[in-house]
Structure 1
Amino acid sequence: MKIVLLNPPHTAIGSRIPDDHLPPLGLLAVGGPLIDDGHAVRLIDCEFGPLGFEEIVARVLDDCPDLLLIGHSGSTSAHPTAKRIASDVRMTAPSVRVIYGGVFPTYHWREVLSESGAFDYVVRGEGEETVRRLVRALSSLEPLSEVPGIAYRDDDGVALATRPTEAIANLDAYRIGWELIEHRHYSYWGGKRAVVLQFSRGCPHLCNYCGQRGFWTRWRHRDPVAFAKEIARLHREEGVELINLADENPTSSRKGWLAFLNAMIAENVPVQIVGSTRADDIVRDADILHLYRKAGVVRWLLGMENTDDATLKLIKKGGTTTSDRQAIALLRQHDILSMATWVVGFEEERLSDLWRGFRQLLSYDPDQIQALYVTPHRWTPFFGLARDRTVIEPDMRKWDYKHQVLKMKHLHPVVLFLSVKLIEVAIQARPKALARVLLHRDPQQRHSMRWYTRMGRRVWFHELYEFAFRRRHFAAGPSLEVFWGAPQEAEEESMLPPRRRHPSDSAAA
């Protein structure tokens, strides 16, 4: 079959401001198995430009495809755009069948299929094997009811889902379709040729706001040596200089992560690695952090979420402010940059809480910070806690963590926004922080920090402009439950647990 994989353009500020773009790993991961099955597959990455709707439809229909697969890593905020594209394609070429995948459609499949005829099928959970089975069924006219992990409309137009699929036990069993992209077009971290990869999927921790934990069902990791070899091949054959790990928590298994670090050191390739992890894991690995740096790790984003212990307890983060501060200090000792995420917008927050958070961030002394707004997902336990809160941002494209979407009891959106902007400037423009940007002893890290500072400055002014002239959402809207629907906490795990464990897990767990 002729199959088009499509990465829709995203409206998030972070996608528009930087001059760098990263390849869509999820679509490439699905594309590899489809190519191996003999299908003619091509990728359209609409982030470049970004492409307009008319051009997107023209490119999709360029060779009269049989199937269009749409997916995006920021699937909630990208949903309106994906829906528009699917509708335009269907209006122009009704014979093209549209498959939709990602976190948002996995849980909102009922609404996706019931509210619009634009999508024919929804892939729920991991897509590598499920898409292969779905395409095989469509090619041979087999009954869709026998394909696990999908949703579709029956002959009467009723949306229904098949039994859940199993999470993939062996993540190395499916190859990534790197041939679908031109590596020279993708970069990050200031123009370095880059790709996105996953060492692991899932997270073993219980943060009740996380929209990813249940999607992946169980934490699993790739074979450490095979993963290092793939990175080395990408560097030697494609010139890749930087790996952006898309894992929620790649360091969960100390033994597995240590095996990967040693394998990377053995490969001896000058590749830089950035990603996200937990402060607790950094503190746990204090004795091997020199291997992190030697293997190429140059920055960790630490999901601290909040600087208040009571709030951390509310969201079941599991960490502490003490371990957060200690992790940043340890990373700095080994010339690894730290980016601290700081989430605001909790219902009871006051200016005094923001002030305390600012002072706490100063004591942490991170190299970079990223301020985010609490954004609920219907399938998480946190949604049940926030179900009665008022929605003030009805545009789903803004549900990207960079916009306030829920009303607060004590702070007007203007007050919260300006407070966050001032805190960002105060943290990033401290003499100590500026000195690191200008005088860091590692020239590579100095380059990285200067790139991030330039990009952050552009984003900061863009956010001010958007807030002042483009946002008109301060009027109170419906409750969160009325806006999104009833909580789906019982459906949080999107797949069945893997039937068997990866061979290396027994040694690495």
Structure 2
Amino acid sequence: MRIALLNPPHRAIGSRVPKEQLPPLGHLASGGPLIDAGHAVRLINADPGPMTDVEILSALMEKPPEAVLIGHAGSTSAHPVVARLAPLIRAALPEAHIVYGGVYPSYHWQEVLTDCPEIDVVVRGEGEVTAPRLIAALEAGADLATVPGIAFRRDGQPHATPPAPMLRDLDSARIGWELVDLSRHSYWGGKRAVILQFSRGCPHLCTYCGQRGFWTQWRHRDPVKFATEIAWLVREHGVELVNLADENPTSSRKAWKAFLETLVATGVKVTLIGSTRADDIVRDADLLPLYKRAGCLRFLLGLEGTDEATLATVRKGGTRAKDREAIGLLRAHGMIGLCTFAVGFEEETDADYARLLRHLLVYDPDQIMSVYATPHRWTPFFRQSAHRRVVQTDLSLWDYKHQVLETPRVSAWRVFLWVKLIEAVVQLRPRALARIWLQKDPELRHAQRWYTAMGRGVWLREFRDAFRFRARPGPTVETFLGAGQLPENALDRRRDAA
């Protein structure tokens, strides 16, 4: 079957400000198994640019596909674009199957199939196994009810099949690198870059995160195979930087150490950036020289807050002492700690924001990034926030960079101004400026200055959006998003014995 994988354009700050885009890993991960199943697959990556609707349709019509598979990593905030494009694609390709995958449609399949009649099928969960099964069924005209892990209309009503078995061996489904020209993708200020996953899921129980719900179980790739693939990308495609997409690649010290040792043994020079927990950095204090030799340069550490009560509420499991220690350890070993802090929790007051600023100054991070608490349906935080009022009903702004929940004790404008004040005070300190402009290490200097340039762009975009998209009290979370489709997890695999 002729298949077009469509990565739609995205309005979110993370897509538009950097002027650089990484290859869409989700599409490549599904594309490899589809190619291996004998299908003619091509990728239309409309996010760089971004492409206009006319350009997207023109690209589709160059080689009219029999199936269009749509998805985006920024799932919720990209959904309005998918909903707008689907009718245009249907009008241009009336006989094509339109399939929609990603986190948002996985948990909102009923609304998607009800509100978007042009979308034929939703892939729920991991696509590497489900997509080839679905395409085979569509090609054969088979009953879609036999395909696990999808939702479609039966007798005019949305209907979901049982969850698909979890992909236990992450190395069994290859990434379709041939679908993308890596020379057209960069990050980190012009470095040829890719995004990869060493692991999926998370062993921790943080309430605001959906990793555990969507991926169900923490799994990792074979450390040697993963390092070998990175070395191949460096040698054969000139890749200079790998952005690790997983939340906690370091969860298994044994597996992570084996990966780092293998990567060092390959002899390639590559920069690794990603996210992890402060606890893991402290745990691996003796391994940090190995981190550095393997190319690790920056880790995002999700502090979520500096108040112990908030950390307990979100079930973070960390402590302020370990957060501070991790930041110091990374700096001592020539690596950068990018610390995120979250705002928008229900109990917050002006005094809490002032205390947050004081604690961040004590932490002394190299870089910081603010995020807003967002009640996605696939997180326990959704259930905790069901009674709270939504102040931003435009889903395209549900990208963690715009406030979407009312904070009863602080107006939305004051929350925004507090966030900007905290960022300015922390990042404009003489000590912080010295790390940017007086840094002697060329890699660290480049990283600090690139992030500073990105920060200026984000600041301008956030201020512009604050005036364009005013936060106004609206319906409750449950009224706006609807109750969860299953009590705990819309991708519940407790019945999965595969």
TM-score by length of 1: 0.96
Aligned to 2:290: 291
Aligned to 2:28: 28
Aligned to 1:472: 470
- 1:344-423 aligned within 5 A: 344-423=343-422
Judge conservation of contact 1:328–1:366 (CA < 8 Å) in 2: yes
For residue 233 of structure 1, report the CA deviation from its aligned partner: 0.3
Aligned to 1:135: 135
| 1:430 equivalenced with 2:429 (yes/no) | yes
- Alignment partner for residue 484 of structure 2, among 471, 482, 487? 487
Aligned to 2:15: 15
Q: Deviations over 1:305-339 (max 9, x none)?
A: 11111011111111111111111011011011010
Aligned partners of 1:35, 1:364: CA distance in 2, in Å?
A: 48
Query: Aligned partner of 1:239: which letter?
Result: G
Aligned to 2:70: 70
Judge conservation of contact 2:246–2:274 (CA < 8 Å) in 1: yes
SS at match of 2:416: helix
Moved more, 436-445 or 27-36: 436-445
Aligned to 1:115: 115
Moved more, 378-387 or 238-247: 378-387
Aligned to 2:197: 198
Aligned partners of 2:484, 2:492: CA distance in 1, in Å?
A: 18
Aligned partners of 2:112, 2:398: CA distance in 1, in Å?
A: 17
SS at match of 2:348: coil
Aligned partners of 1:405, 1:214: CA distance in 2, in Å?
A: 22
- 1:176-215 aligned within 5 A: 176-215=175-214
Judge conservation of contact 1:165–1:495 (CA < 8 Å) in 2: no
- Do the aligned partners of residues 36 and 457 (structure 1) sit closer, same or farther apart at CA in structure 2, a change above 3 Å counting? same
Runs of 5+ unmatched residues, structure 2: none
Aligned to 2:215: 216
Aligned partners of 2:429, 2:479: CA distance in 1, in Å?
A: 43
Judge conservation of contact 2:185–2:193 (CA < 8 Å) in 1: yes
Q: How many residues align?
A: 497
Question: Could you list the runs of 4 or more consecutive aligned residues of structure 1 that deviate by over 4 angstroms after TM superposition?
Answer: 497-500
Aligned to 1:455: 454
Query: Aligned partner of 2:435: which letter?
Result: R
For residue 491 of structure 1, report the CA deviation from its aligned partner: 4.0
- 1:212-361 aligned within 5 A: 212-361=211-360
Aligned partners of 1:404, 1:346: CA distance in 2, in Å?
A: 11
For residue 127 of structure 1, report the CA deviation from its aligned partner: 0.3
- 1:168-179 aligned within 5 A: 168-179=167-178
Query: Aligned partner of 1:457: which letter?
Result: R
For residue 377 of structure 1, report the CA deviation from its aligned partner: 1.3
* Cα RMSD after superposing both structures: 1.3
Judge conservation of contact 1:381–1:489 (CA < 8 Å) in 2: no
For residue 410 of structure 1, report the CA deviation from its aligned partner: 1.2
Query: Aligned partner of 2:209: which letter?
Result: C
Judge conservation of contact 1:378–1:488 (CA < 8 Å) in 2: no
Aligned partners of 1:103, 1:110: CA distance in 2, in Å?
A: 13
SS at match of 1:105: helix
For residue 114 of structure 1, report the CA deviation from its aligned partner: 1.4
For residue 418 of structure 1, report the CA deviation from its aligned partner: 1.1
Aligned to 2:101: 101
Query: Aligned partner of 1:471: which letter?
Result: F
Aligned partners of 1:459, 1:399: CA distance in 2, in Å?
A: 16
TM-score by length of 2: 0.98
Aligned to 1:45: 45
Judge conservation of contact 1:343–1:372 (CA < 8 Å) in 2: yes
SS at match of 1:41: strand
For residue 93 of structure 1, report the CA deviation from its aligned partner: 2.0
Judge conservation of contact 2:412–2:471 (CA < 8 Å) in 1: no
For residue 286 of structure 1, report the CA deviation from its aligned partner: 0.6
Judge conservation of contact 1:275–1:299 (CA < 8 Å) in 2: yes
For residue 91 of structure 1, report the CA deviation from its aligned partner: 2.1
Aligned partners of 1:299, 1:141: CA distance in 2, in Å?
A: 49
For residue 499 of structure 1, report the CA deviation from its aligned partner: 5.7
Aligned partners of 1:499, 1:370: CA distance in 2, in Å?
A: 41
Query: Aligned partner of 1:110: which letter?
Result: Q
Q: Percent identity?
A: 57
Q: Deviations over 1:33-61 (max 9, x none)?
A: 11111111111111121111122122122
Q: Deviations over 1:68-88 (max 9, x none)?
A: 000111101100101111121
Query: Aligned partner of 2:480: which letter?
Result: F
Query: Aligned partner of 1:125: which letter?
Result: G
Query: Aligned partner of 2:14: which letter?
Result: G
| 1:91 equivalenced with 2:88 (yes/no) | no
Judge conservation of contact 2:272–2:296 (CA < 8 Å) in 1: yes
- Do the aligned partners of residues 68 and 95 (structure 1) sit closer, same or farther apart at CA in structure 2, a change above 3 Å counting? same
SS at match of 1:230: helix
Higher relative contact order (CA 8 A, sep 6+): 1
SS at match of 1:29: helix
Query: Aligned partner of 2:430: which letter?
Result: P
For residue 496 of structure 1, report the CA deviation from its aligned partner: 2.8
Aligned partners of 2:458, 2:57: CA distance in 1, in Å?
A: 30
Judge conservation of contact 2:20–2:48 (CA < 8 Å) in 1: no
| 1:6 equivalenced with 2:3 (yes/no) | no
Judge conservation of contact 1:299–1:337 (CA < 8 Å) in 2: yes
Aligned partners of 2:470, 2:261: CA distance in 1, in Å?
A: 52
Aligned partners of 2:470, 2:408: CA distance in 1, in Å?
A: 19
Aligned partners of 1:304, 1:42: CA distance in 2, in Å?
A: 40
Judge conservation of contact 2:233–2:239 (CA < 8 Å) in 1: yes
SS at match of 1:111: helix
Query: Aligned partner of 2:475: which letter?
Result: P
Query: Aligned partner of 1:386: which letter?
Result: S
Aligned to 1:144: 144
Query: Aligned partner of 1:301: which letter?
Result: L
Query: Aligned partner of 1:496: which letter?
Result: R
Judge conservation of contact 1:380–1:489 (CA < 8 Å) in 2: no
- Alignment partner for residue 493 of structure 2, among 481, 492, 496? 496
Aligned partners of 1:139, 1:22: CA distance in 2, in Å?
A: 32
Judge conservation of contact 2:389–2:475 (CA < 8 Å) in 1: yes
Aligned partners of 1:123, 1:435: CA distance in 2, in Å?
A: 49
